[in-house]
Amino acid sequence: MSKVLLEAPVFNLQGALEAAQFGIDRLELCANFPEGGETPSAGMLRFLKSEVDIPVFVMIRPRGGDFVFSQKELIVMKQDIQLLGELGADGFVFGILDEHGKVNQSACELLLRAAGSKPCTFHRAFDASADLDDSLEKIIRLGFARILTSGGKNSLTEGLPVIQDLLQKAKDRIIIMPGGGTKAEHVPILKQSGLLKEVHASCKLAKPSPNQYINAGLSFSGMPLDFSSRFGVDPAVVNEFKAVL
């Protein structure tokens, strides 16, 4: 059996550089971890492409919340694909649903055309869709390269039986990439199918920040500020995955 590829979502420069250093095979570059990922900055992508030699797929999501986007939001997403593609993005990650939880095929086609020959991942909007089997078939027909999914559940632990079913239904027609609370212990179970090709895992680790001063009475949002740590990548967790991949 061929080696299974390990992709990591990264939300800051430290995490991205550490992921490449510690042996991650591909980066999913995002902004805004609390929202589950949004489109990163052009400067971040351009700098990363000069620093790392592994593929960088870019999240295309103009805001958090649901996956029903307006026509003007779609124009922003299309322009982000065009601009970030020119700066060296190796692929793109997006997902669009309609108001009823079905895959919005015309909107996806618009962005797929903008991406050209670069591979596209349909992200966990898939998990938010109303019918996973229907979504699977539509995403395959559209021409996406892969689907990132936790099996429609909050985490891969809960969605594992669904992922196993999706691997069998998809076969070699599209890559099913498990992700969402992925643990190294999930991999041997999923490899039993002989169909597992890629895994998505953050391998993240909170690391101390050099910041020495915190204004205890200040908050920029409804959540308290945390200036004490930053997310990096844990080499021990990466090694756990590499051992089973």
pLDDT in tens, 108-123: 999 999 999 999 999 9
The residue ranges of every structural domain in the chain are 5-206+234-244
Cβ-based neighbours of 26, under 8 Å, separated by 6 or more: 5, 6, 7, 8, 54, 55, 56, 57, 90
Which tens digits make up the pLDDT trace of 80-94?
999 999 999 999 999
User: What is the average pLDDT score of the chain?
Assistant: 94
> Under CATH, which architecture does the 5-206+234-244 domain have?
Alpha-Beta Barrel (3.20)
Instruction: Tell me the sheet residues that pair with 205.
Output: 232
Global pTM reads 0.93
| pLDDT given for residue 216 in this prediction | 81
Which tens digits make up the pLDDT trace of 8-66?
999 999 999 999 999 999 999 999 988 889 999 999 999 999 999 999 999 999 999 99
Phi, psi of 66 (to 5 degrees): -75, 180
Phi, psi of 231 (to 5 degrees): -85, 125
